[in-house]
Amino acid sequence: MIEKAPEKLIEEKLLYLKESPSNEYFFNKIEEDYLYWDKVKYVSASDTVQIWKEVKLIRNLIGRSISIKGKKYIELKYGINDFLQQKLHYLDFNFGAGIQKEQLLSDLDKHKYLSNALMEESIFSSMIEGASTTRVKAKEMLRKGRKPSNKSEQMILNNYKTIQYISEQKANDLTIKKLFEIHRLVTENTLEEENIGKLRISNDVMVMNQITGEIVHTPPSFDELDELMKSFCDFFNNNPKESFIHPIVKASILHFLIGFIHPFVDGNGRTARALFYWYLLKNGYWLTEYLSISRVILKTKTQYEKAYIYTEIDEMDVSYFIHYQVKVLTQAFEDLKNYISKKKKEENKLSKFLKLPNINERQAQILFWLEEDENRFFTVKEIENIFKITNQTARTDIEELVENNYLKKISINKKSFNYWKGENFESTFM
């Protein structure tokens, strides 16, 4: 006879909930959204203190720990409950399956949308950090290759260059040198030269609530940073021995760690989001490149900040931040699907331009944009940037439209021209 193992506490689960089945509904609601006590106490009219005790018991039982080595260890814990498991499966299926890529993007000009997605991510990541500009002006700067006119535009251009750098590096490991290069890219011309691409050398850095002025986080001491960031890079490149961490979970933890450690004088948030983006691309989540993750974060900035705070005040349980990041990715994916649906409707309108003799798809798209916005004009550099083509190809495309009088060429100076709506456009399409 084989001896029966002792019953596990986790299998006994919640004696309190069994005795009061109505509480199981509240328990599931708490775990689905991974609520902290400040929300749990309003979930049920019954004994919420007891419910919270049971919640903490289960979270501790399924929890795992991670250590980042410094003079003092940073000890994090996290747990993956059934609700998070389901959400991760959804993202795995949609972000990594090749068939989904074809179904989602087969009718979309990938290069053109990728360019737009990179611009969107660059703009909104900067806005999270306080950049003040409009999307229209920011995109115009990036498309036309215009030099930034202020700090906000410089931040956006920096983020744009950073994302391009990560796209090139996505298959590679992270080194201290590359970490510093990312920080240099995101802070160039927006931070004092002595602080760019370098760890902070003082403790005169703290995270404050911008509204109340309250100090919400004091980062580790600067003399721990060298060892902490080496350990961080090792964690980025390798999983702990005999352990597997789901890539989206790990990307979220990496994001959190940069914010928590605060290794730089400024630019920590932009660096954290860049590394989150890099780790997902490195692990095969190709669709990340087409998403505007920061756009969703900007809309939910309060939740973003609270995810950090909840983690720190609840025994460094980074699950709060993981759940938040999973919500962000899911919403960003929904936004992408809506965008593609909109683009497919536009393609039907585009067809009338494609029927014109000797008009290619890029030229048809230019004509479509002119119909949508009669005040819009183009430059050769802009066309080059939008379609990721050579300068000569862009020049040929636009000059052919001039020859057919769909565009007119206006001199700005001896070397530069703008291209506006021409006479034939008005007579043919208006």
What is the per-residue DSSP string for 157-193? HHHHHHHHHHHHHTTSPP-HHHHHHHHHHHHTTTS-G
pLDDT in the model for residue 106: 54
In contact, 40 and 51? CB cutoff 8 Å:
yes
DSSP symbol at 402: H
Element at 215 (helix H, strand E)? strand 215-217
Residue linked to tokens 């903490």: 56
Q: Decide: 331 and 297 in contact? Cβ < 8 Å.
A: no
pLDDT at 104: 57
Is there a contact between 257 and 275 (Cβ–Cβ < 8 Å)?
no
Beta bridge partners of 83: none
Angle at 49 between CA 47 and CA 55, to 5 degrees: 105
Rounded Cα–Cα distance for residues 343 and 108 (Å): 8
> Which residue stretches of the chain have pLDDT < 50?
5, 9-12, 18, 21, 98-99, 107-108
CA-closest candidate to residue 205, choices 260, 152, 147, 270: 260
Contact call for residues 295 and 335 (beta carbons, < 8 A): yes
pTM: 0.80
What is the model's pLDDT at position 179? Answer: 97
Instruction: Check if the beta carbon of residue 389 is closer than 8 Å to that of residue 362.
Output: yes
Q: Which pLDDT score is estimated for 119?
A: 86
Q: What backbone torsions phi and psi does residue 406 show, to the nearest 5 degrees?
A: -80, -25
- Three-state DSSP class for residue 389: coil
**Joined tokens for residue 274:** 């860049």
Type of residue numbered 1:
M
Quick one: which H or E segment has residue 77? strand 74-78
Q: In whole angstroms, what is the distance from residue 328 CA to residue 407 CA? A: 42
Structural domains in the chain, CATH included, are 9-62 (no CATH), 65-338 (1.10.3290.10), 356-429 (1.10.10.10)
Other beta carbons within 10 angstroms of residue 266's beta carbon come to: 19
Contact 292, 124 (CB under 8 A): yes
Q: Which two tokens stand for residue 314?
A: 């609840």
CA 139 – CA 127 distance, rounded (Å): 13
Q: What is the Cα–Cα distance from 141 to 146, expressed in whole angstroms?
A: 5
CB contact at 8 A, 200 and 218: no
The Cα 366–Cα 253 span in angstroms is 43
Quick count: other Cβ atoms within 10 Å of Cβ 393? 15
Those residues with Cβ within 8 angstroms of residue 194's Cβ, 6 or more apart along the chain or in another chain: none
Q: Say what the pLDDT of residue 5 is.
A: 47
Chain centroid, CA 52 distance in Å: 32
